[in-house]
Amino acid sequence: MTNKTQKTETERPPIITVMGHIDHGKSTLLDYIRKANTVEKEAGGITQHTSAYEVMHEMPSGEAKRITFIDTPGHAAFSKMRGRGAQIADVIILVVAADDGVNVQTIEAIKTIQDSGTPYVVAINKIDKPNSDIEKTKLDLASNGVFLEGYGGDVPNVPVSAKTGDGVSDLLDVLLLMAEMGEFKKDDSKPGEGFVFESNLDPKKGGVATLIIKDGTLNVGDFIIIDGNVTPLRSLENFAGKKIAEAIASSPVKITGFSKLPAVGSNFISTKNKKEAEKIAETQAPICARRAEENYENVKLVLPVILKADFQGSVEAIEKELRKLENDDVKIRIISCGVGNITENDVSSAGNKDKPLVIGFNVKADRDVMELGEKLGIKPMTFDIIYKINDTIEEEIKRRMPKEEVEKTLGQARILRVFSRQKDKQVVGGTVLSGSIIVGKEVKIIRQKNEIGRGEINELQENKMKAREVVEGKQFGVTIDSKITIAESDIIEAFDLETI
């Protein structure tokens, strides 16, 4: 007897993640494939948050097939986002520039890919460059554990130029062949399920999320359950922003109307019945987005931070970068984080004795927010390049780090004679062994190499004349304030306190 599920299963379009070093042409490759340019819209020329796209590709047989692409940022700060892309993807493209070879993020991407166990193909890009060297690039990859077809391994590789388009069609053919071999299946009759790929707050639409459907079908009118929260599906948009009535597996879709912003990376399921959705939601424990409170005992500086960003993926990435600034003496305490512009509430909650830093990434702080910050002695800071945040916070750590006082020895003297004592005032005479003895400085009183107390030099004489300082080899008379009785042969050690 044939299983009913098997009857309704059909081939699912592959979901492809593009990974690689920051300057090796990942986004340019996607631009060529989807005939659009996003690179110039990004601050600093790097992709700042993830995106998902669908394309149609005609196979040599003439059959047109759908492919979903996920673009993941190359900057090291976004490793969590790249890791998420690897988990969602069916096949990964590792882009390596033929004129540069294996680089820092290339090695990180290789580790992410291999840890995920996801099949992958290497796109050797920039073959149009005069100094490109495909063979050297293949050898570089082999030395980093990537063994290509023809080089002792079975990893497919395709030389391409994202600029001219050479080899891109061959790359898409290979991706679809790998998808065939992977036998990715879907069942359109099932309720839609998958992952939250990205989420953010839209000033007009409220909570917005991009979902990647891994199986089943989403329809307008369904109810989506994410982390114990139910959201009615009132509208669906495809990757191009066009409203649609339904979406099937492998499709990226944008959904609005979330009362509570869903956590990126969360699973979602759907149902057509509201009561059923609420029943499922009750069984799901809410996910706490904040880190557990840490023990800050013996930490010299705890720097509180309020963090706002355009996307939750950006919040994750920034938090990862901030943790790099921590050590045994310094801890970063993120007291709140969220998606959207910096608000008066963010600033007023920061306005306490700890003076948290209010950091915004790709968001704004309006005039009212800035004026409130000025009144409270807090200046919200906004950035559009992620790695500039750490530079600012490093300076703030240096400024706030408690200063330490260390004792600097000025000189030592041996007591030769005790003249008088009246209450705490003692008049003694001695000779300077090293350095100098100075009026107004504190002294340690040392007997048989052990410190027995401390005092302060009030008056100092040399040759029966008042002196401010007596140097090495000279004899002196001195009045010392101390509760400790000074004896002949004691050593007094003058010192100063220095702040470091």
Structural domain contains residue 287: no
Last residue of a domain, one of 249, 282, 315: 282
What CATH number is attached to the domain comprising 211? Answer: 2.40.30.10
Residues 236 and 165 in one domain: no
Asked if residue 294 is part of any domain, the answer here is no
Read off the amino acid at residue 413. Answer: A
Residue 142 has pLDDT above 60, yes or no: yes
Residue 457 predicted with pLDDT over 90: yes
Of all residues in the chain, the percent with pLDDT exceeding 90 is 53
Ranges 49-53, 149-153, 321-325: which has the least confidence: 49-53
The CATH number of residue 388's host domain is 3.40.50.10050
The span from the first CA to the last CA of the chain, in angstroms, equals: 81
In the structure, what pLDDT confidence band is assigned to residue 38 with cuts at 50, 70 and 90?
Answer: very low
What is the enclosing helix (H) or strand (E) of 384?
none
Q: What is the pLDDT of residue 199?
A: 86
Q: Is the pLDDT of residue 289 over 70?
A: no
Q: Which residue has the higher pLDDT, 344 or 265?
A: 344
Residue 157 predicted with pLDDT over 70 = yes
Highest mean pLDDT among 71-85, 304-318, 434-448: 434-448
- Exposure string of 152-174, with b = 16+ CB inside 10 Å and e = fewer, is eeebbbbbbbbbeeebbbebbbb
User: What pLDDT was estimated at residue 481?
Assistant: 96
> pLDDT tens for residues 15-24?
998 988 888 9
The domain in which residue 433 lies consists of 405-499
420 plus 452 within the same structural domain? yes
**How many distinct structural domains can be found in the chain?**
4
**Average pLDDT value for the chain:** 87
Do 482 and 454 contact (CB within 8 A), yes or no?
yes
Enclosing H/E stretch for 500: none
Position 334 scores a pLDDT of: 85
Closest residue by Cα to residue 415 from 404, 424, 427: 427
For the cut 90, the answer to whether the pLDDT of residue 286 exceeds it is no
Tell whether 100 and 212 lie within a shared domain. no
Q: Which of 165-169, 276-280, 342-346 is predicted with the least confidence, judged by mean pLDDT?
A: 342-346
Q: Of 168, 185, 202, which residue constitutes the final position of a domain?
A: 185
In this structure, how many other beta carbons lie within 10 angstroms of the beta carbon of residue 104?
A: 11
Which of 369, 400, 431 is the C-terminal boundary of a domain? 400
